[in-house]
Structure 1
Amino acid sequence: MWPPLLRLQAALGSGAELVVVGGAVRDELLGRPHADWDLATKLLPRTVMDRARAAGLKVIPTGLQHGTVTVMLEDRPVEITTFRSDGDYLDGRRPESVQLGVSLEEDLSRRDFTINAMALPVGGGDLVDPFGGRADLVARTLRAVGDPLLRFAEDGLRTLRACRFAAQLGFEVEAGTLAAIPERLEVARKVAVERVLAELTKLLCGEEPERGLELLAETGLLDLWLPELRPMIGCGQNRHHRWEVWRHTLEAVRLAPVDPGLRWAALLHDAGKPGAKVMGTDGEVSFHGHEAGSLELAATVLDRLKAAHALRREVLALVRHHGTHPAGDWGDAACRRFLRRLGEDGLDLVRWGAFRLADQRAKGLDLEAREREHAAILARLEALAAAAPPLTVKALALDGAALMALAGRGGGPWLGALQRELLEAVIEHPELNTPEALAELVRGRR
């Protein structure tokens, strides 16, 4: 247990019944790393604040109406909540009222899943586990505390949290808990999209994201928050793929590095395939132009979920370029143009390469050959990029002022056209990017 918690316990006194609760207990028992330490105590919030301040600790009254204060321990915020019970939930998110001063067991009874409804006394003592959370950890089972219909009626996000924990921990969802999820979709519909995005991102970055995504599809949550993906299920592909579109997508997500941008891109990159699917006269399936459809659907999903600009930009860039496959017969100039396009979209070559490799592996066929081809392509692109070729107008050896002086003209549309023409020339032949050579090219256009 984190040593600063002992200092906090000493500040609050032995009668505080200070315990670690929630995910920190779960992760401690599983031996998983974690950053948060959520605490509970029988002391009322004002008492917690007074005693912590008397011990020289910084205290922030973050949620007094819900019995919560935050104490800074070694520059880390630690929430301390008084043992409480919750009143009725009317908005599918928060209780209308709370009652402070209840027993620890009653406090634990309001939590979502048994594996999150345990408490560990700070400073030592027996695990408090009234609902069998430890046994469920051993059995790798996710089970609601009490009646799952009631738990999911209280907070609609808990349905998604079930899928997220299954993905993060690799657990099975207990049958009764799983069956309750479709019955509470109307409550889940009330959840703010910002909370949904956060949970979906955690799910995608879990150890077994494919497990969580399958649960979304099975329970109806996929149709609620990601309806654009439903047509991918059962959509067959061509001879270049081992699996249908949905299974390929699950594999791509699983194989992509654990990173929000890369995994969201893996999830959305082929969303346009069902709409672009065409059966040729030879019986071969094709998906020409599906990249544009995928890009449109990805933008729709990310906009609806109010994704941050940086995440949206990277995901859309990866989706936009996922159908471009530099080949061994490409010339150096074609490779440099591709690097320019990646740069214009703010894409890092290493991240593009990691995403492309996951997509290639997820096709499930000719893996060794695909991996060799990818390694060769990436090595060639990296070597060309290392030479720092001019890929933008700003990299030209003559800037706009110099070009205007050379042409004897003021600024205007002609200047941008000239710069683009010069850039094409130096991408084709980087050795031309000198003031003298560019000046000669300008004079030659007259």
Structure 2
Amino acid sequence: MWEPLLRLKAALGPEAELVVVGGAVRDELLGRPHADWDLATKLLPRAVMARAQAAGLRAIPTGLQHGTVTVLLEDRPVEITTFRSDGDYLDGRHPDSVRLGVTLNEDLSRRDFTINAMALPVGGGDLVDPFGGQRDLESRIIRAVGAPLQRFAEDGLRTLRACRFAAQLGFDVEVATLEAISERLAVARKVSVERVCTEFTKLLCGAEPHRGLDLLARTGLLDLWLPELRPMLGCGQNRHHRFDVWTHTLETARLVPAEPGLRWAALLHDVGKPGARALGPDGEIHFHDHERQSLEIAARILGRLKVAQALQKDVLALVRHHGAHPLAEWSDAACRRFLRRLSEDGLDLARWAAFRLADQRAKGMDLAARELDHAAILSRLEALAAASPPLSVKALALDGAALMRLAGRGGGPWLGELQRQLLEAVVEEPALNAPEALAELAKQKLMAGGF
């Protein structure tokens, strides 16, 4: 246990009954790393503040109305909440009142799942586990505390948290708990999109995202927040794929590195396929233009969920380029043009390659051949990128000021067009990107007119 907690216990006194609660207990028992220590105590919040301050600790009244005080331990904020029970949840998210001064068991009874309803006394002592959370940890089960319909009626976010924990921990959701999710979709609908987005990202970045995504689809939560994804289920593909579009998506999410941009892109990269699906004259199923349709739908979904702009840009770049398949017969210039397109979208080669490999593996067919092909083209692209070819106007040997002096005229649209043409030329032949050679080329283009 973290050493500063023992000093905090000494500051609050033995009568405080200071315990670690929530996810920290769960993760300690599982041997998983965790960042937060949430504490609970018998003391009322003003007593917590007074005793902490008397011991020289900084205490902040972050939520006195809910019994919460934040204490800084080695500059790390730790929340301490007085044992409490909750009133009615009229808005489907928050209790309209809380009652302080209850027992620890009463406090634990208000929590969502048994694996989150345990407490560890700070400094040692027996695990407090009135609802069988340790047993469910050992059985790898997510089970609601008490009646699941009541738990989900109180807070609609809990339905999504069940799926998220399944993805993070690789656990199953207990049958009655799972069935109750579908009956509480109206409550789940009240959750803000910001919280939904946070939970989705945590789910996607879990150890088994496919497990959580499958639960979203089975319970109706997918239709609630991502209805555009429903047509992917059962959407058959062609002979190059073993799986339907949805199963391929789950496989891609499972195989790609656990990083938000890559996982969101895995979820959305083929969302346009059902709308693009067509049977060609050759009798084959085709998905022409699905990349563009996927990009449009992905942009709409990410905007609706208020995903951070930087993450949106990253995801859309991956979706935009996921269908690119550089071939062995490409010229070096064609490969450099491809690298330039990635660069213009802020997408580095390594991340594109990681996504492409997962996408290829998730097709479930010809894996050895696909991996050999991927390794060969990646090796070639890496070698070309290592030579630092000019991929943007900023990399030209002559900047805008030099080109204006060369032309003897001020800036304007002509300058951008000249720079674009020069960049095209040096991408084709990097040796041209030297001051003298580039100046000569610029003179030729200016003399040819059109600027």
- Shorter-chain TM band: over 0.9
Instruction: For residue 282 of structure 1, report the CA deviation from its aligned partner.
Output: 2.4
- Counterpart for residue 283 of structure 1: 283
- Counterpart for residue 293 of structure 2: 293
- Counterpart for residue 251 of structure 2: 251
Deviations 1:47-102 (A, max 9, x none): 00000111111111111110001111112111000000000001111100000000
* Cα distance in 2, alignment partners of residues 408 and 118 from structure 1: 77
- The amino acid of 1:443's aligned partner reads K
Instruction: For residue 36 of structure 1, report the CA deviation from its aligned partner.
Output: 0.7
The more displaced of 391-400 and 312-321 is 391-400
> 1:39-188 maps to which residues of 2 (within 5 A)?
39-188=39-188
- Counterpart for residue 389 of structure 1: 389
- Counterpart for residue 413 of structure 1: 413
Deviations 1:121-173 (A, max 9, x none): 01111111111111111111111000111100111000000000111111111
- Counterpart for residue 215 of structure 1: 215
Q: Aligned with 2:347: secondary structure?
A: coil
Q: Aligned with 1:181: secondary structure?
A: helix
- Counterpart for residue 398 of structure 2: 398
Q: Aligned with 2:70: secondary structure?
A: strand
* Cα distance in 2, alignment partners of residues 410 and 72 from structure 1: 58
* Cα distance in 2, alignment partners of residues 281 and 268 from structure 1: 28
- Counterpart for residue 6 of structure 2: 6
Q: 4+ residue stretches of structure 1 with deviation over 4 A?
A: none
* Cα distance in 1, alignment partners of residues 379 and 75 from structure 2: 43
- Which 5+ residue runs of structure 2 have no aligned equivalent? none
- The amino acid of 1:168's aligned partner reads Q
Deviations 1:352-377 (A, max 9, x none): 11111110110111111111111111
- Counterpart for residue 429 of structure 1: 429
Instruction: For residue 14 of structure 1, report the CA deviation from its aligned partner.
Output: 0.5
* Cα distance in 1, alignment partners of residues 55 and 348 from structure 2: 49
Instruction: For residue 408 of structure 1, report the CA deviation from its aligned partner.
Output: 2.0
* Cα distance in 1, alignment partners of residues 151 and 410 from structure 2: 70
* Cα distance in 2, alignment partners of residues 227 and 240 from structure 1: 27
Q: Does 1:353 align with 2:349?
A: no
Q: Aligned with 1:95: secondary structure?
A: coil
Instruction: For residue 195 of structure 1, report the CA deviation from its aligned partner.
Output: 0.5
Deviations 1:329-359 (A, max 9, x none): 1111111111111111111111111111110
- The amino acid of 1:89's aligned partner reads Y
- The amino acid of 1:384's aligned partner reads L
Q: Aligned with 2:77: secondary structure?
A: strand
- The amino acid of 1:117's aligned partner reads A
Deviations 1:278-304 (A, max 9, x none): 101222000011001100111111111
- The amino acid of 1:143's aligned partner reads R
- Which 5+ residue runs of structure 1 have no aligned equivalent? none
* Cα distance in 2, alignment partners of residues 402 and 259 from structure 1: 42
* Cα distance in 1, alignment partners of residues 162 and 108 from structure 2: 18
* Cα distance in 1, alignment partners of residues 53 and 314 from structure 2: 45
Instruction: For residue 108 of structure 1, report the CA deviation from its aligned partner.
Output: 0.3
* Cα distance in 1, alignment partners of residues 443 and 296 from structure 2: 44
TM-score of the pair, normalised by structure 1: 0.99
Deviations 1:304-341 (A, max 9, x none): 11000111000000000001111111111111111111
Q: Aligned with 2:184: secondary structure?
A: helix
* Cα distance in 2, alignment partners of residues 201 and 442 from structure 1: 48
Instruction: For residue 381 of structure 1, report the CA deviation from its aligned partner.
Output: 1.2
Q: Percent identity over the alignment?
A: 79
The more displaced of 310-319 and 387-396 is 387-396
Q: What is the aligned-residue RMSD (CA, Å)?
A: 0.8
* Cα distance in 2, alignment partners of residues 213 and 412 from structure 1: 51
TM-score of the pair, normalised by structure 2: 0.98
- Counterpart for residue 331 of structure 2: 331
Deviations 1:11-34 (A, max 9, x none): 000010000001111111111111
* Cα distance in 2, alignment partners of residues 29 and 395 from structure 1: 53
> 1:257-268 maps to which residues of 2 (within 5 A)?
257-268=257-268
Q: Aligned with 2:78: secondary structure?
A: strand
* Cα distance in 2, alignment partners of residues 31 and 396 from structure 1: 53
Q: Aligned with 1:40: secondary structure?
A: strand
- Counterpart for residue 379 of structure 1: 379
Q: Aligned with 1:337: secondary structure?
A: helix
- The amino acid of 1:224's aligned partner reads L
* Cα distance in 2, alignment partners of residues 142 and 106 from structure 1: 20
- Counterpart for residue 236 of structure 2: 236
- The amino acid of 2:409's aligned partner reads R
- The amino acid of 1:232's aligned partner reads M
- Counterpart for residue 341 of structure 2: 341
- The amino acid of 1:107's aligned partner reads D
* Cα distance in 1, alignment partners of residues 436 and 98 from structure 2: 77
The aligned length equals 446
- The amino acid of 2:84's aligned partner reads R
- The amino acid of 1:96's aligned partner reads D
The more displaced of 267-276 and 376-385 is 376-385
- Counterpart for residue 27 of structure 2: 27
Instruction: For residue 113 of structure 1, report the CA deviation from its aligned partner.
Output: 0.3
